[in-house]
Each structure stands twice: as structure tokens, then as C-alpha cells.
């Protein structure tokens, strides 16, 4: 089968590998219909390199079941599915108290298990979710990143009628705009330096758009919230700059949710750090997408809201490409040659 395999920093190769086969009684082999590029994939490609040299990369995918192990129930060949790519140990302190996302040995396909930049991928049946009729393969490939966002929102105390600011309008931020509405936000403020991304944020539900090139986000944020600030500010960009700016957006006693991962040191101006103390902010970190019982309510909620149309995925997909275009695409992504939001690969030529 055709695959994309990561050998080192900025060394991803389009290669043939043997098709996977069922080796365990609970395994499911899935024909990959669509697989998305995660921001963490780009960062690992750019400078971190693989966990295991030559590992098939990628973890955000959907597909069709082609083979199941003898102990698999409720899943059969021909089923349309999404896959939870994350593995937890079940034995560490965090797992034993039910905080699966905090597992000490958390890993996923594309890291230490063969991933989904491939024509076929294998997962345990417990990681496979059947798709509702109205959820297509493009949307289903976004179930994992949507669940990441849902996991973060479930960690907050946001209530219906809240005012929410989203800092960074990549795919995670654009999903966060929609989850804010699902959680009942009365007003959603989208913040990004890319006007094209802000236009898409408006399409998926943002009420106020702010470009920090034009105005300081917190100054404009105060103007549109009666000089109070928002109830919840969500950092989705993973930039050192936005990681400090987000702290000035909430009202006194408000919350900040960090979902972006800054792959650089965050040096913070006193003004922004003091917002934590002087405004008595609650600062929340969120990591991954799973909870107990596995894979968690994040996944069932995502599939539900995709099926109702309240999670609209199509505006987020900026590029639809063949797997063969993978190496050149990753090079373009790190060099920012073009406006990328969500890149989707289609491993099979008949798609």
C-alpha cells in the first residue's frame, strides 16, 4: 500500500509498505478514505522528527472497514467509521482515577503505532466509531480534532449566554468558534492576523472579528463587551505572542483555556501576566481528546453535532490532495507557501 513515512526532521517519504492484516482478535482493518494534517504533524515534521524512524505518519482519519478480528462485535466490513487514534496505558495514577488524557504513557497512531497517511490502517475495535448517515468522510476525518476542542470546553465552566473569545482561527480555532456556540455562547469573538481565516470564522458563527494588525485584541474586546471582557478566552494558535495576549481578554473572574502548543519559549510582558493575578483569572490547560468511559463524551458529542449540521466542516478544508503530494505539501506548510487551514489527503486514487 502507499504510505507517507517520517524518517527525520523535514524527511517524509512516499513509499510502499505491506498491507496490514488482522493480527489480534479485536483488531479492525480500515480503508482510509480521508486523512487530515494536524498542526502537531507539521511541528514534528519541521524540527522534532519521528518517535520511531520510518513510522507511517498521520492520525486524523475516516474510512471503511475491510476486515475484522474474530472477537469484534458491532462492526463489520463495509461500515463507515472514524477512528480514535489515542492509546492510554490504563495503569498509571491518572488512568486509574479516570483522567485518561493525563495518562503518563499516552501515545497515538503515527507516533509509536502505524498511522493513517496510508491506504489502510489498523485499530482495536474499541477505537472505532460508526458514522451517522449524514456525516461524510471529510467531516469524519475531523472527529478527532473536534473532540480535542470539545475536551477543552468540557473543562471550562462556560454557560449559555456567555461571551467567548477565540484567539487563532486555524482549524482548531474555527472548531472552537462552533463549539462555543454549541455550549450556548451569546457572542463569539474571533481573533486572527489572517483576514481570510476571519472570513471563514464569520461563516461558521463568529459575531465579532478582530485582526491584531489593526488593533490590540483586548482593547477591541472591551469595546464590544461593555468594557467588561469575555467570560472565556480560548488560545488556539500556539504562538508565544497569542499565549500572552489571550490573558487580557477575560473579565475579572473569567477563564482562559489553553489548547495551542507553543513550540518556543513564551516571554510574557508584566501587563499580561498581571491580568491573571489582578483579575483573578482561572487558567486551564487542555490536552488531547479522550475521557472515561473511553473514548469519551467528546466523541459522541462531535458525531451528534456533525450529524445535525451544528459542526460545519467543509469551510475548514482548504486543500484536497493525493497522498503522493505529501512530501511537497509538508514543505509548503513549513514555508507557509499559501494559505492553509486544513489539508486533507485522499490515499486512494478512486476518491
The CATH code of the domain that includes 98 is 3.90.180.10
The whole model's pTM is what? 0.97
Q: Which one-letter DSSP state was computed for residue 113? A: B
Domain boundary among 267, 285, 303: 285
Residue 349 has pLDDT above 90, yes or no: no
**Rounded Cα distance, 164 and 158, in Å:** 9
Q: Is residue 250 part of a domain?
A: yes
Please tell me whether residues 276 and 297 are part of one structural domain. no
Asked if residue 151 is part of any domain, the answer here is no
- Give the pLDDT of residue 351: 60
Q: Is residue 71 part of a domain?
A: yes
Integer angstrom CA distances of residue 92 from 51, 102, 172, 295: 21, 9, 29, 17
Structural domain for 206, as ranges? 156-285
176 and 138 share one domain: no
Is residue 316 included in any domain, yes or no? yes
**Residues 12 and 122 occupy one common structural domain:** yes
- Verify that 266 and 318 share a domain, yes or no: no
Report if residue 172 sits inside a domain.
Answer: yes
Poorest-pLDDT segment among 150-154, 183-187, 208-212, 332-336: 332-336
In this structure, are 163 and 253 located in the same domain?
yes
Confidence (pLDDT) at 263: 80
Last residue in a domain, options 285, 302, 324: 285
Assign residue 278 the CATH number of its domain.
Answer: 3.40.50.720
The CA-atom distances, in angstroms, between 148 and each of 11, 202, 302 are: 27, 21, 10
Residue 351 lies in a domain: no
201 contacts 182 by C-beta, under 8 angstroms: no
Indicate if 30 and 166 belong to the same structural domain: no
What is the radius of gyration, based on Cα positions, of the chain?
20
> Structurally, how many domains does the chain consist of?
2
18 & 141 share domain:
yes
Same domain, 39 and 101: yes
Grid-cell match 449566554, residue found: 161
Does residue 338 fall inside a structural domain? yes
Say what the pLDDT of residue 264 is: 85
Q: What are the pLDDT digits (tens) for 4-57?
A: 999 999 999 999 999 999 999 999 999 999 999 999 999 999 999 999 999 999
128 and 175 belong to one structural domain: no
Amino acid at each position: 500500500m502507499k504510505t507517507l513515512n517520517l524518517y527525520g526532521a523535514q524527511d517524509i517519504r512516499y513509499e510502499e509498505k505491506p498491507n496490514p492484516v488482522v493480527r489480534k482478535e479485536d483488531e479492525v482493518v480500515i480503508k482510509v478514505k480521508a486523512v487530515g494534517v494536524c498542526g502537531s504533524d507539521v511541528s514534528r515534521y519541521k524540527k522534532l522528527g519521528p518517535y520511531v524512524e520510518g513510522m507511517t505518519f498521520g492520525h486524523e482519519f475516516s474510512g471503511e472497514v475491510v476486515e475484522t478480528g474474530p472477537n469484534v462485535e458491532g462492526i463489520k466490513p463495509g461500515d463507515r467509521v472514524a477512528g480514535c487514534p489515542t492509546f492510554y496505558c490504563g495503569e498509571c495514577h491518572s488512568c486509574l482515577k479516570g483522567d485518561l488524557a493525563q495518562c503518563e504513557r499516552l501515545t497515538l497512531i503515527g507516533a509509536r503505532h502505524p498511522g493513517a497517511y496510508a491506504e489502510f490502517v489498523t485499530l482495536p475495535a474499541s477505537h472505532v466509531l460508526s458514522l451517522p448517515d449524514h456525516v461524510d468522510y471529510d467531516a469524519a476525518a475531523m472527529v478527532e480534532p473536534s473532540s480535542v476542542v470539545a475536551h477543552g470546553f468540557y473543562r471550562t465552566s462556560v454557560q449559555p449566554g456567555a461571551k467567548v473569545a477565540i484567539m487563532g482561527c486555524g482549524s482548531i480555532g474555527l472548531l472552537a468558534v462552533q463549539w462555543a456556540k454549541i455550549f450556548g455562547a451569546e457572542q463569539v469573538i474571533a481573533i486572527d492576523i489572517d483576514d481570510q481565516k476571519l472570513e471563514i470564522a464569520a461563516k461558521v458563527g463568529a459575531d465579532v472579528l478582530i485582526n491584531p494588525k489593526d488593533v490590540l485584541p483586548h482593547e477591541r474586546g472591551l469595546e464590544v463587551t461593555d468594557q467588561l471582557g469575555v467570560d472565556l478566552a480560548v488560545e488556539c494558535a500556539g504562538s508565544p505572542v497569542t499565549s500572552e495576549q489571550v490573558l487580557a481578554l477575560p473579565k475579572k473572574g473569567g477563564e482562559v483555556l489553553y489548547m495551542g502548543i507553543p513550540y518556543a519559549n513564551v516571554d510574557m510582558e508584566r501587563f499580561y501576566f498581571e491580568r491573571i493575578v489582578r483579575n483573578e483569572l482561572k487558567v486551564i490547560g487542555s490536552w488531547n481528546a479522550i475521557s472515561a468511559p473511553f473514548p469519551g463524551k467528546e466523541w459522541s458529542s462531535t458525531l451528534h453535532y456533525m450529524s445535525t449540521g451544528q459542526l460545519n466542516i467543509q469551510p475548514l478544508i482548504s486543500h484536497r490532495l493525493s497522498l503522493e503530494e505529501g512530501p511537497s505539501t509538508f514543505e509548503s506548510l513549513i514555508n507557509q507557501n499559501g494559505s492553509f487551514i486544513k489539508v486533507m489527503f485522499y490515499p486512494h486514487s478512486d476518491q
